């Protein structure tokens, strides 16, 4: 399986963001012919106020039903290009509650999985900026995997990356590839992003695919920056592909035979006692 991680500069114009997603998907398909496209966290809307984020939210349809603009954009990309789509995340509305939610689709645009981000980013970064994701979202509770042409895909989102126990749980569920759609801050990303991605790949002996936000956006009047550096890491901890600065993509082959060889050489799963 060949996977492309799409890197975006999402801001607070939802229609423009969805246009950007479609254009970047078309470019990746034309250049690399991937089997799967992975989008970043909050690919449809980023920045502005809590009220604006919630106004951009979408109710998820019953399986097979028609969804909102972000949902249908992802479904349309899958159908139009005949690829699996791991939809990064967008704001889900469920009654009075809101979640940071991933949706995945198969090549025909049929929904495969839903995952709500478990760990919420309530942090003050080294530059003094406050990030309070729980002001907008509730936390998910379920560990989620799905099958894509015989490859088991595990779901995580951004700040989840710092919690190794989630990745161990995904590995126990049989994950071959773990997705990390993200909007890592510049302050934390420059020191922690690659280290954490490679650590999670090494610990779980899986491929890790990280599609990231890049560039600047506004949170109210405050200009903030995302680290970017979307990348794909193999089970030995090597970075196979990394996106350049700005919107674009990174593509790599997922080789399950290689993954099995790594697991046979260092049988971590057989030695785990906790």
Cα gap 120→154, rounded to integer Å: 18
Active site residues: 41, 117, 158
Mean pLDDT by 10-residue block, N- to C-terminus, for the chain (274 residues)? 98 98 98 98 97 97 93 98 98 98 98 98 91 97 98 98 98 98 96 98 98 96 96 98 97 98 97 90
- Cβ neighbors of 263 (< 8 A, separation 6 or more) are 205, 235, 269
pLDDT for 238: 98
pLDDT for 274: 83
What pTM did the predictor assign? 0.97
Cα gap 232→254, rounded to integer Å: 9
Domains, in order of start, for the chain? 2-266 (3.60.110.10)
pLDDT for 248: 98
CB 164 within 8 Å of CB 195: no
Sign for the pseudo-dihedral over CA of 44, 48, 51, 52: negative
Q: What is the per-residue DSSP string for 90-128?
A: EEEEETTEEEEEEEEE-TTS-EEEEEE--S--EEE-TTS
Helical (H) or strand (E) element with 29: helix 14-32
| Angle in degrees, 0-180, between the axes of helices 164-172 and 186-204, rounded to the nearest 10 | 30
pLDDT for 232: 99
End-to-end, the C-alpha distance of the chain in Å comes to 32
């Amino acid at each position: 399986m060949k996977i492309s991680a799409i890197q975006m500069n999402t801001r607070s114009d939802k229609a423009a963001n969805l246009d950007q997603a479609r254009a970047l998907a078309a470019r990746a398909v034309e250049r690399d012919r991937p089997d799967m496209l992975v989008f970043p966290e909050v690919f449809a809307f980023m920045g502005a106020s809590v009220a604006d984020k919630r106004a951009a939210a979408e109710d998820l349809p019953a399986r097979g039903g028609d969804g909102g603009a972000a949902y249908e954009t992802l479904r349309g990309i899958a159908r139009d290009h005949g690829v699996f789509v791991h939809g990064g995340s967008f704001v889900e509305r469920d009654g009075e509650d809101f979640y940071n939610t991933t949706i995945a689709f198969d090549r025909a645009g049929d929904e495969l999985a839903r995952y709500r981000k478990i760990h919420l980013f309530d942090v003050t970064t080294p530059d003094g900026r406050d990030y309070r994701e729980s002001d907008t979202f509730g936390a998910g509770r379920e560990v989620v995997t799905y099958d894509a042409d015989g490859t088991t895909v595990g779901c995580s989102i951004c700040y989840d990356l710092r919690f190794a126990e989630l990745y161990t749980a995904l590995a126990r569920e049989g994950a071959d590839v773990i997705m990390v759609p993200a909007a890592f801050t510049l302050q934390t990303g420059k020191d922690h992003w690659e280290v954490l991605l490679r650590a999670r790949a090494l610990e779980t002996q899986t491929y890790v695919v990280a599609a990231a936000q890049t560039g600047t956006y506004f949170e109210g009047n405050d200009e903030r920056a995302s680290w970017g550096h979307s990348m794909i890491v193999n089970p030995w901890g090597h970075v196979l592909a990394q996106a350049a600065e700005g919107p674009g993509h990174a593509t790599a082959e997922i080789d399950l035979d290689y993954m099995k060889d790594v697991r046979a050489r260092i049988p971590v799963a057989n030695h785990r006692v906790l």
